[in-house]
């Protein structure tokens, strides 16, 4: 088994993270990242046109960080791709600013590429940030042809070591995933039509189609603030999850699977979600749900959140 050599020979890892109006949270992420003591890091923070909180705190606190300020909000994929273009590392680690990577995780992720054949992208195990025994990610299932959704394995359950075997999985966790520059050069950067949600799922599909494995590595760990940046009750989340659920099926599934999905969606998902929002007195979520639906019908809505 090939292993990482002496520390002086450790490959450069470019860590790419997106900041949007959360410079304090981003600074905490950088602090924990530096505490991992991996000696050859290039840290790239892309500020996605934060409207009210200046990202200057990041540069003032960590002058060695490469801070890129986009003039417009490019979304998750667009921001990450901007970071890729500015990066110089052999390995690329995409890390949410609400994710804390633990010591040794970077070395373990790199060793995954060295130990297993044809690895294209890998994610570590995720724990809930303030509930260290609760899993947030231990791999993913395929996107279901009926529902247009996948299932995060282990999410919300107690970690008793039941998911401690490194193995292939359907897709990585966008909050923390590593690939190589060679892979990006071969398959292209992260798909940008999604803006937020599902982009990493499609990217993993592209990577698999190119003949590479999508992998889950439980011997590396991230602690994740669940919806730390966006929030749990978010119309933005309702809109983009709905919009991109449909978009993913349109872009990645054969016609017969699209037909099955749309029958299910209109007969079950639309009335179910409408009723659920009504019972919770969330009329604004109903509006964004239907805006997402008509966007996929060719009506290019421009919702304000």
Q: What is the pLDDT of residues 73-125, one digit of tens each?
A: 999 999 999 999 999 999 999 999 999 999 999 999 999 999 999 999 999 99
Last residue of a domain, one of 193, 224, 255: 224
Residue 269 lies in a domain: yes
Residue 230 lies in a domain: no
Q: Residue 105 sits in a domain of what CATH number?
A: 3.90.550.10
Same domain for 158 and 61: yes
Same domain for 135 and 59: yes
Same domain for 154 and 258: no
Same domain for 144 and 64: yes
Whole-number pLDDT of residue 65: 97
Whole-number pLDDT of residue 63: 96
User: What's the pLDDT band for 227 if we cut at 50, 70, 90?
Assistant: low
Instruction: Judge whether residue 231 has pLDDT over 60.
Output: no
Instruction: Judge whether residue 230 has pLDDT over 90.
Output: no
Residue 302 lies in a domain: no
Same domain for 59 and 166: yes
> What is the residue range of 144's domain?
7-224
Same domain for 277 and 242: yes
Instruction: Judge whether residue 255 has pLDDT over 80.
Output: yes
Domain count, the chain: 2
Last residue of a domain, one of 163, 194, 224: 224
Residue 300 lies in a domain: no
Q: Residue 266 gets which letter from DSSP?
A: I
Last residue of a domain, one of 161, 195, 224: 224
Instruction: Judge whether residue 1 has pLDDT over 50.
Output: no
Same domain for 117 and 69: yes
CB 2 within 8 A of CB 119: no
Same domain for 243 and 132: no
Task: Tell me the C-alpha to C-alpha distance, in Å, between residue 27 and each of 34, 41, 140, 184, 294.
Answer: 11, 16, 29, 27, 38
Query: What confidence tens digit (pLDDT) does each residue in 28-42 have?
Result: 999 999 999 999 999
Alpha-carbon span 77 to 190, nearest angstrom: 6
Same domain for 182 and 43: yes
Same domain for 206 and 94: yes
Given the DSSP bridges, would you call strands 41-48 and 131-137 parallel, antiparallel or unpaired? Answer: unpaired
């Amino acid at each position: 088994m090939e292993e990482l050599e002496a520390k002086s020979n450790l490959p450069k890892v470019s860590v790419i993270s997106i900041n949007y109006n959360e410079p304090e949270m981003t600074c905490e992420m950088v602090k924990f990242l530096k505490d991992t003591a991996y000696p050859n890091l290039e840290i790239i923070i892309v500020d996605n046109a934060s409207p009210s909180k200046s990202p200057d705190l990041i540069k003032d606190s960590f002058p060695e960080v490469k801070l890129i300020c986009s003039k417009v909000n490019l979304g998750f994929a667009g921001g990450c791709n901007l970071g890729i273009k500015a990066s110089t590392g052999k390995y690329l680690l995409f890390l949410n600013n609400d994710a804390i990577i633990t010591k040794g995780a970077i070395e373990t992720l790199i060793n995954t590429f060295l130990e297993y054949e044809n690895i294209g992208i890998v994610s570590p195990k995720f724990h809930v940030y303030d509930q260290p025994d609760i899993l947030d990610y231990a791999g993913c299932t395929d996107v279901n042809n009926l529902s247009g959704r996948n299932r995060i394995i282990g999410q919300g359950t107690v970690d008793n070591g039941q998911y401690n075997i490194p193995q292939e999985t359907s897709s990585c966790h966008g909050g923390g995933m590593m690939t190589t520059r060679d892979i990006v050069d071969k398959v292209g950067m992260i798909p940008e039509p999604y803006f937020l949600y599902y982009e990493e799922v499609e990217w993993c599909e592209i990577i698999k189609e190119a003949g590479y494995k999508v992998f889950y590595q439980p011997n590396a760990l991230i602690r994740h603030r669940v919806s730390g940046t966006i929030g749990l009750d978010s119309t933005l989340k309702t809109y983009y999850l709905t919009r991109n659920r449909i978009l993913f099926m349109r872009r990645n599934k054969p016609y017969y699977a699209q037909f099955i999905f749309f029958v299910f969606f209109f007969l079950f998902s639309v009335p179910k979600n409408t009723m659920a929002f009504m019972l919770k007195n969330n009329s604004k979520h109903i509006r964004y749900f239907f805006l997402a639906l008509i966007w996929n019908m060719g009506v290019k809505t421009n919702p304000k959140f």
